[in-house]
A and B are shown apart, each in its own frame.
Chain A
Amino acid sequence: MILTLHDYWSARGCLILQPYDLEMGAGTFHTATTLRALGPQPWNAAFVQPCRRPTDGRYGENPNRLQHYYQYQVILKPSPADLQEQYLGSLAAIGIDMLAHDIRFVEDDWESPTLGAWGLGWEVWCDGMEVTQFTYFQQMGGFDCKPVAGELTYGLERLAMYIQNVDSVYDLAFNDEGVTYGEVFLENERQMSAWNFEVADTDRLFDQFRKHAAECENSLAADLPIPAYEQAVKASHVFNLLQARGVISVAERQAYMGRVRDLAKGACAKQIERMTPEWQARFPEWSL
């Protein structure tokens, strides 16, 4: 399925990239999405990104929820006029018959408070199941996207469950030799859920959060937005772990999210600052 998507999007001008090697809550955090959404230069890319959402862990007991799963991301900038048709073509390519399955575009405006980003779009339903998040980015890191990028995020496990017609993610065939998704990941889900919810040392996590934030600022001071952004992503993941441990109150939650947002925005602002001469050399009419 991943290979089919790679073929499909590669044929439509996308670079095929690899996952980012950091824990992140969504493929959107990949620099190929966030940092490339800034500025005027065209950018088309597709990649798989593993995602970690500690609070979604269910100790392997829920057939549909995982704290670690995979997204397939496509970013097309500027958004092509036929993006919906291209997207539907990709569903057909992976074997979804749209006269037998009910595909719907249901309003779902996307917002990432920790990235200072938002966009309008839909969650795409296949027979009532959200299989893709479809977004036209309007802002990233607090800056208007000029031009707007279209972002597609496929839930790979869900799509696979669909295509293989299984009820539990753990029953997915990982290959044709009888190895299941459960054999690969079930134990991982059990252990990670226990750690995320019960074991992770919160004092050390708080400490890590502070250190990542400090390192982010250190990198920004050195005019290095990409390392700064990486620290912001790490801080964001530590924050998610703290949330799963239930040690962040509602009021504090806002403060922590604000802190991560400021770090991410700082990195975006610095990236824009650093890249503007190059961008303007190629796109003289471009401005913030």
Chain B
Amino acid sequence: MAGAFPGVVAVTDFLLELRSEEIPARMQDRARADLEKLFVAELAKAGIAAAGIVTYATPRRLALIARGLPQATEAVREEMKGPRTSAPEAALEGFLRKTGLARDALTERDGIWFAVTEKPGRATGDVLAAAIPAIVRAFPWPKSMRWGDASRSTESMRWVRPLQGIVAIFGEKLVPCEIAGIESGYATLGHRFHAPGPITLGGAHDYVEKLRACHVIVDQDERRALIRERATALAADAGLTLVEDEGLVAENAGLTEWPVPLLGRFDPGFLSVPPEVIQLTARVNQKYFVLETSPRNGEGDRPAQPDGGGVARARQLTNAFICVANIDAKDGGAKIVAGNQKVLAARLSDARFFYDTDLKLPLDEQAKKLEKIVFHEKLGTVADKVERVAKLARWLVEEGIVPAAPLPGREGPGVGDGAQDRASKVQPTPNPSLPGRGDLADMAERAARLAKADLVTGMVGEFPELQGLMGGYYARAQGEPTEVWEAVRDHYKPVGQDDEVPTAPVTVAVSLADKLDTIVQFYIENMPPTGSKDPFALRRAALAVIAIVVRKSLRFRLERALLAACEDDLAKFEKIFFGETEQNLARFFADRLKVQQREAGVRHDLIDAVFALGGEDDLVRLLARVHALQAFVTTPEGANLLAGYKRAANILKKEGVGETPPRHPGLVPGSTAPQAASAGERAEPPATLDAAAAASEPFGTESPRTPAEQRIHAIDRDGAGIPQTGEEDPLVEVDTDRGFAPVVAAFAASEHAPGSPGGASAQNSLSYTPEKAETDLVAALDAAEPAAAQAVADEDFEAAMAALAGLRAPIDAFFESVTVNDADPAKRQARLALLARVRAAVHSVADFSRIEG
């Protein structure tokens, strides 16, 4: 016993195998992780940890080997400190009651009573015997079942499939336990067909090898490697190339204890069916690998480029496949191959039936059936959706939002975005005879009208994942122009963060229109995503919109496009965009932008900092500003300016000098406009403010005071159009809390003094002689404000940051030598005004208060 020889801890390995009927392949990895987690947790309760744990899964067993477990848990000695020996009797009695001990069981040390309890160590075998049933009962299978006689009770044990046996050996000793009538033992079973009899195991040390001798490779990684290597070799032997597919490797390893890849063939006549269909049939229905003709010299390393050659792709699927059997067949697998060939032929024959049948009916005819297909019960039919998308796609082209030529994808909007131009590189150089805008609009509308027609074809009915792709084939077959059939094929893209982003103008128009329509329509019917629920994949749609806009640098007002998606129904637009729902569209898009940019390493707080300015719905410009900001705040100038700014902002906050609160929440998720804290107004020259506003039009200007007409007018204006925000009396917003009233009054006086058009001249009417640091800061602001404003107007955000950087030294010097909180109220007010001007100048670029750190 470990306790008998303190310091010398004998360690032993433990083997657990839970044998059951076939565990679904897709659940095995997760089950291994869960087994380890539960095992570690159970042992930790007893204070035991293993030196190492390995887990294995096959279709019929889940196993765990824990190495280096102690023979017993350590004896635990607990000491509880009691009262001093000199304490009154009552205190001691209380302590005895609490510990349940008699007085002579206490120990005295240094004049203090201690209660000492010794817990002897438990044999690890006992701990394990209790742990195993607990693990089995708590096991979080994604789906579990009852079975057999015990299932007369709904409380009977559940497992993924009927549990058949338990092996639990600690060292070489059985760990006796029983779960639902199954007792642990030394015996397991080998391969179902090659070695059906019982095998007696010695323990962890011989588990893997004894099973291997019985045609079971317990290590899933070994089975995977075997499948990978053997399949590659079989392909090479046939002069072909394996289409690698890790998902299939894992799935086949999860379906076999003794994997044996075999190569089969099918009738080359089936190659008339699109290769994607063949691959999908083979993969999904049969779990087969497909093969390609070996690449010509020099092309071996090039990844398959699905968009490379349109439908006539470079990829050359060939009429062979590889299946993975679970036995070493006595005839070498000839019967197995023959059987699998027959099954695949039947599947492909069915696929060809669908394909040929679909080709007989033009897509325009198919599309008519969409009138009978409900898109969503509240949103009418798919035909209704198609109608809206067709109009919107046309509008996007006619408005010039989608440019006529494929855009190269301006560098910049994606920080670290190496994938940015991936898609555009495969595009041919823009053809001088490209269709004009009118043709493009026609094509966008046409493509949109055909885009959903494949949903009612037999092939997509059979393989929903082929939607779009099949439409592309059918559109091409009926002679649609390339722009149109490519748009039909690719309009669902991008489907995920890693998916390719379309570049062809017609495709971009249809893709954007489809997604904007989906988002807007579900919002109109008040079905936004909530929490973890996003049943209509609206988040994914928004991410796709952002990806297209950003990667392709599409310059437009998102608000305007969303209004168009509302079919220019202003009331609907206002309701969903600014609505009081938990998540309005403004916030929704801001959140998605953060998610999308997180991948590219853009800090979410910087996005907040730009959003907080109160609006910007040109996503490209917005991100350019965010990226410049990110570059800036990581420089010493930026960091120091941020520190200076924060100091100024803190003083202002403490003194209750707030800003004019943004009149709308803007795109600031989770933020509330700082109404509570604001007690003042902007103290900077209005001219500066206007310049800043010029570059950042209100995105979320929600104001019941704004008439709807004004709003649509504002949205309709181009980037140059500036809805003014400073029209009303700034004092309307002033907090009239009495404590701040004098300060506010002073601001009002300085701001509205006759002949004082701005803060700069207000400084000139000071009633005292300013210190040098004050005048230096004023001078720096006088220089920085117009420079920053101009840079912002020019969308040169690096220059705007550089202009601000000039404020850093004067601000530092100001804090160094000037006392803001001067006894003289005039000085105090003037200096607060100066700090407010600093804050405002910084805010012309971004709201630095949102920046963390």
A associates with B? yes
**Total A residues in contact with B, Cβ cutoff 8 Å:** 51
Residue from the list B154, B346, B377 in contact with A62, Cβ < 8 A: B346
Chain B residues whose CB sits within 8 angstroms of the CB of A262 once the complex forms: none
Does A98 belong to the interface (CB within 8 Å)? Answer: yes
Q: Is B372 positioned at the interface, with any CB of A under 8 Å from its CB?
A: yes
Q: How far is the CA of A252 from the CA of B149 in the complex (A)?
A: 40
B329 in complex: contacting residue of A40, A99, A251, A286, CB < 8 Å: A99
A80: chain B residues at CB < 8 Å are: 148
Q: Is the CB of A127 within 8 A of B335?
A: yes
* Of B19-27, B236-244, B566-574, the one touching chain A: B19-27
Which residues of A58-98 are within 8 A (CB) of B? 58, 61-65, 78-81, 84, 88, 98
Residues in A whose Cβ lies below 8 Å from that of B374:
249-252
Q: Name the residue on A nearest B333 (C-beta).
A: A102
Quick check: B353 and A62 within 8 Å, CB to CB? yes
Which of B152, B194, B255, B369 is close to A146, meaning CB atoms less than 8 Å apart?
B152
A106 within 8 A of B: yes
- The answer to whether A126 touches B339 (Cβ under 8 A) is yes
Query: Smallest Cβ distance from B277 to chain A, in angstroms?
Result: 16
A residues less than 8 Å from B59 (CB atoms): 105
In the assembled complex, B325 has its CB within 8 A of some CB on chain A: yes
Contact present for B25 and A78 (CB under 8 Å): no
Distance (whole angstroms) from the CB of A227 to the closest CB of chain B: 29
Q: Which of B256, B286, B327 has the most CB of A within 10 A?
A: B327
Contact indicator per residue, chain B 130-153, by CB within 8 Å of chain A (1) or not (0)? 000000000000011111111111
Q: Are A98 and B145 in contact, CB atoms less than 8 angstroms apart? A: no
Interface residues in A216-273 by Cβ distance below 8 A to B read 246, 249-252
Contact A103 B353 (CB under 8 A): no
Let me know if B342 is at the binding interface, CB within 8 A.
yes
B614-636 CB mask vs A (1 if < 8 Å, else 0) is 00000000000000000000000
Contact: A106 with B255, CB < 8 Å? yes
Known: A62-B346, A81-B148. A100 touches B340 (CB 8 A): no
List the B residue with the shortest CB-CB distance to A162.
B339
Cβ of A138 and Cβ of B330 under 8 Å apart?
A: no
User: For the complex, what is the distance from the CA of A228 to the CA of B344, rounded to whole Å?
Assistant: 42
Contacting pair A128 B340 (CB below 8 A): yes
Partner of B161, one of A88, A100, A120: A120
* Contact of A148 with B339 in the complex, beta carbons under 8 Å: no
Write out, one digit per residue, whether chain A residues 33-71 have a CB within 8 A of any chain B CB (1) or not (0). Answer: 000000010000000000000000010011111000000
| CB atoms of A147 and B330 under 8 A apart | no
Contact check, A78 vs B372: say whether CB atoms are below 8 A apart: no
Closest Cβ neighbor of A167 among chain B residues: B342
Q: Are A127 and B327 in contact (CB under 8 A)?
A: no
B806 interfacial by beta-carbon distance below 8 Å: no
Enumerate B176-198 residues with CB–CB distance to A below 8 Å. 192-194
Cβ of A249 and Cβ of B286 under 8 Å apart? no
B339 touches A145 (CB 8 A): no
Asked if B255 and A104 sit within 8 Å, CB to CB, the answer is yes
Closest to A102 in B: B325
Q: Is the CB of B330 within 8 A of A167?
A: no
Q: Decide: A249 and B336 in contact? CB cutoff 8 A.
A: no
> What is the CA–CA distance of A63 and B327 in the complex, to the nearest angstrom?
28
Q: Roughly how many angstroms separate A283 CA and B152 CA in the complex, as a whole number? A: 10
> Contacts A127-B340, A162-B339 known; A148 to B146 CB distance under 8 Å?
yes
Q: Are A136 and B154 in contact (CB under 8 A)?
A: no
Cβ-neighbour of B147 out of A58, A61, A128, A148 (below 8 A): A148
Residues of A near B26 (CB, < 8 A) are 107
Chain A residue contacts of B369, Cβ below 8 A: 246
Instruction: Decide: B145 and A138 in contact? CB cutoff 8 A.
Output: yes
Whether B372 lies near A136 (C-beta < 8 A) is no
CB closest chain-A residue, reference B182: A81
Other-chain residue from B22, B148, B343 in contact with A128 (beta carbon distance below 8 A): B343
Interface string of A143-155 (1 = CB under 8 A from B): 0111110100000
Contact of A129 among B147, B160, B342 (CB under 8 A): B342
Is A101 an interface residue, CB under 8 A from the partner?
yes
Name the residue on B nearest A130 (C-beta). B343
Bound Cα distance from A148 to B323, whole angstroms: 34
B residues within 8 A CB of A64? 346, 349-350
Assuming the contacts A98-B193, A99-B329, A128-B286, asked whether A138 and B152 have C-beta atoms less than 8 A apart, the reply is no
Check if B162 is an interface residue, CB within 8 A of chain A: yes
User: Contact at A58–B353, with CB atoms within 8 Å?
Assistant: yes
- A101–B330 Cα distance when bound, in Å, is 9
How near does chain B come to A282, taking the closest CB pair, in angstroms? 12
Whether B339 lies near A103 (C-beta < 8 A) is no
Determine the residue in chain B with the shortest Cβ distance to A166. B342
Task: Tell yes or no: A122 within 8 A of B by CB.
Answer: yes
B336, A63: Cβ atoms under 8 Å?
Answer: no
**B101 interface residue (CB < 8 Å to A):** no
Within 8 Å of chain A (Cβ to Cβ): is B87? no
- Cα separation A146 to B153 with both chains bound (whole Å): 6
A120 with B143: in contact, given A62-B349, A127-B335 (CB under 8 Å)? yes
How distant is the Cα of A84 from the Cα of B374 in the complex, in angstroms? 43
Q: Which residues from chain B contact A109 at a C-beta distance below 8 Å?
A: 143
Mark contacts of B304-334 with chain A using CB atoms, 8 A cut-off: 1 yes-contact digit, 0 otherwise: 0000000000000000000101110111000
Residue B345 is within 8 A (CB to CB) of chain A in the complex: yes
**Alpha-carbon gap, A283 to B149, bound state (A):** 13
Bound complex: CA A286 to CA B149 (Å): 12
Contacting pair A128 B344 (CB below 8 A): yes
Is the pair A103, B349 in contact by a Cβ cutoff of 8 Å?
Answer: no
Question: Beta-carbon contacts of B342-385 to A below 8 Å, as 1s and 0s?
Answer: 11111001100100000000000000010011100100000000
Q: A250 and B373 in contact (CB under 8 A), knowing A100-B335, A148-B145?
A: yes
Report whether B154 and A146 are in contact in the complex, using a CB–CB cutoff of 8 Å: yes
* Cβ B147 vs Cβ A79 within 8 A: yes
How far is it, in angstroms, between the C-alpha of A40 and the C-alpha of B152 when the chains are bound? 7
> Would you call A203 an interface residue if the criterion is a C-beta within 8 Å of the partner chain's C-beta atoms?
no
Query: A58, A98, A99, A105 — which one has the most chain B CB atoms within 10 A of its CB?
Result: A105
A120 to B23, CA, bound (A): 11
Q: Are B143 and A99 in contact (CB under 8 A)?
A: no
Q: Please, how many angstroms separate the alpha-carbon atoms of A88 and B826 in the complex?
A: 97
Shortest CB distance B189–A (Å) = 11
CB distance from A118 to the nearest CB of B (A): 10
Q: Is A285 an interface residue (CB 8 A)?
A: yes
Task: Report 11 cross-chain contacts, Cβ distance below 8 Å, ordered by A residue.
Answer: A58-B350, A62-B350, A101-B329, A102-B326, A104-B256, A120-B143, A127-B343, A128-B343, A147-B149, A150-B147, A167-B342
Closest 10 CB pairs of A and B: A127-B339, A107-B24, A251-B374, A64-B346, A105-B22, A128-B340, A102-B325, A148-B151, A147-B151, A128-B343
Contacts A103-B193, A127-B342, A138-B145 supplied; 19 other A-B pairs, CB < 8 Å:
A40-B152, A64-B346, A65-B346, A65-B350, A79-B147, A100-B335, A101-B339, A105-B59, A107-B25, A119-B145, A120-B161, A127-B338, A128-B344, A136-B146, A136-B161, A145-B151, A146-B153, A148-B151, A167-B345
Interface residues of A (CB under 8 A from B): 40, 58, 61-65, 78-81, 84, 88, 98-107, 109, 119-122, 126-129, 136, 138, 144-148, 150, 161-162, 167, 246, 249-252, 283, 285-286
